[in-house]
Chain A
Amino acid sequence: MTQLLRIELYKIFSRPRTYISFAIIAAISGVIQLAMLSDGGSFVNFALQGVNEQFDIQGKVLNGYLVTYITLQSLLIHIPLLVALVGGDAFAGEASMGTLRLLLTKPISRTQLVLAKFSGSLVYTLLLLIWLAIVSLGVSLLLFGTGDLINLKSDAFVLIMHNDILWRYAAAFAFAGIAMMSIASLSILLSIFADNAIGPIISTMGIVIVLTILSNLELPLFTLIKPYLLTTHVIGWKGFFDDPVPYHAIGNSALVLIIYTIVFLAASIIFFNRKDIKS
């Protein structure tokens, strides 16, 4: 198993494609930082319109913490894509390359292969998040400095003191790890059914996008299924930027995500063990 994992990691990290994801994250984060450097003031004014009617908000609203929050917010859609890029490729990529059949003529257990590929994707995902933390939080703090964080929710204006923020980011990134783990397991499951990697990558994205829309639609029918949707919980990291922090809800979301992960992983193992390798 460790040998399989070592090989998976070796394969993941000897491909140029893997590093494209890291470059994309740095690029998105950089573009947002650049935009905020050049025109952050008007952005902040625009966002604070509703509050500015009645209150004068002074001080360094545009700071590293806020820019990081904005970056994370907009990467909501992108990170799952990057995770799917590796997860969706896990089996389908090998199937299309033709290496899967060679791999499976070796005396390895299919269950262990699924677990190794999942662990490999997980390591990649976590490194991606650490990288995200460096280029978004690290660089933003260097460029914009620290400050108090204003978090605008649809129905609330939350202000968090500058010395009360860093741990929230640490917790948020840890939560994002759990969330992305569920996305990785979903993309691996889809990957098992496909013989080329594009299918599962696109499908994972499609599912994430559609569910995100459902999660955000305020319709009675959807409110009913909302607590069960993956995407409702994927953004649980935002809970850490509320006051008070809704620990119960976050814990619940983490649990739902872990259950999803286990279900996807178990399904992957079951299906893969029965799959005829025809590629």
Chain B
Amino acid sequence: MIKRYLLLFSLLICLWCNAQPAESNASSLFYALRTKVLTVHDYVADVKMKINVAYMRLPDLKGKLYFKYPDKIKFERNGGISILPKKNMNLAMSNLIPQGKVMVIDAGYDTLGGKKVHVIKVVPEDEGNIVLSKLWIDEQALVALRTETTSKDGTAKMELTYGMYISQALPDKVVLYLDVKDYKLPKGVTMDYDDNETNSAIKSSGTKKSSKGTIQITYLNYSINTGLNDDFFNSNTK
């Protein structure tokens, strides 16, 4: 038993030693990105959201997305109904990048859309929801083009495109990939009208037990650091 721990320990040490030269590079890249991201304490953005989940049929949602560091987020549609993924799949960049003490692991380079990106893995040392974050970072612009966050609830993947607000690391467009659990209500309850058209539409889209979905958010403009109040996020307009 002890032998086994020793072996594991030495293996980890070795890994850490081997990674050491590149590691400091990756670490500094991560901290630089984090600092940049954290300059935005809050923002209000006009957004257009396209939810693409097999069982959900809804039009594009236009509204205002409010964010406040570290994890407050709200989507408002002027009295309309808004839909956001649960908190732990948060959309805010700063929330995908773990806070506090972290361990950064260099995972080499990759190419995204013809661009060379630095891939790093971040493991938070504090007890939190996020277990592992993988970031694809454009070193020149100092922005993450892709993130993959593993939390206790599963893995969320995000792809980001930048434009006007690249200096604040705020994307123009975010595509969030998520695993969607199956949804079903008993027919006896809903008393569905069976029309073959929508049924076949679902069949052709190949919906099964659990499937992939995407949420596409297009940011039209940002107002940054307007000093949003915490209370604003708590007001529930149900």
Contact B183 A51 (CB under 8 A): yes
Q: Tell me how far the C-beta of B169 lies from the nearest C-beta in chain A, rounded to whole angstroms.
A: 24
Contact A156 B81 (CB under 8 A): no
**B41 at the A interface (CB under 8 A):** no
Do most interface residues of chain A lie in helix, strand or loop, or is the interface mixed? mixed
**B75 at the A interface (CB under 8 A):** yes
Q: Tell me how far the C-beta of B63 lies from the nearest C-beta in chain A, rounded to whole angstroms.
A: 9
Contact A157 B187 (CB under 8 A): no
Q: Knowing A50-B183, A50-B185, A249-B196 touch, does A158 contact B57 (C-beta < 8 A)?
A: yes
Complex Cα distance, B79 from A14, in Å, reads 46
Q: Knowing A60-B237, A235-B191, A239-B195 touch, does A155 contact B80 (C-beta < 8 A)?
A: no
Residue of B nearest to A53 (CB): B181
In B6-54, the 8 Å CB interface with A consists of none
The range of chain B's interface size is: 35 or more
Contact A56 B85 (CB under 8 A): yes
Contact A236 B238 (CB under 8 A): no
The range of chain A's interface size is: 35 or more
Contact B191 A239 (CB under 8 A): no
Q: Knowing A53-B181, A159-B58, A232-B194 touch, does A58 contact B236 (C-beta < 8 A)?
A: yes
Q: Knowing A157-B57, A161-B59 touch, does A152 contact B81 (C-beta < 8 A)?
A: no
Q: Knowing A55-B86, A161-B80, A235-B191 touch, does A62 contact B238 (C-beta < 8 A)?
A: yes
Contact A152 B185 (CB under 8 A): yes
In B45-97, the 8 Å CB interface with A consists of 55-59, 74-77, 79-87
Q: Knowing A153-B190, A242-B57, A246-B197 touch, does A54 contact B84 (C-beta < 8 A)?
A: no
Complex Cα distance, B87 from A244, in Å, reads 30
Q: Knowing A159-B57, A246-B195 touch, does A56 contact B83 (C-beta < 8 A)?
A: yes
Complex Cα distance, B163 from A258, in Å, reads 57
Please list 17 pairs of residues, one from A and one from B, whose beta carbons are closer than 8 Å in the complex, sorted by A's number: A53-B181, A55-B86, A56-B83, A57-B82, A59-B237, A154-B186, A154-B187, A157-B56, A159-B57, A162-B80, A164-B59, A212-B191, A216-B187, A216-B191, A236-B195, A244-B198, A253-B195
Interface pairs A-B: 4 shortest CB-CB: A249-B195, A159-B58, A246-B195, A238-B193
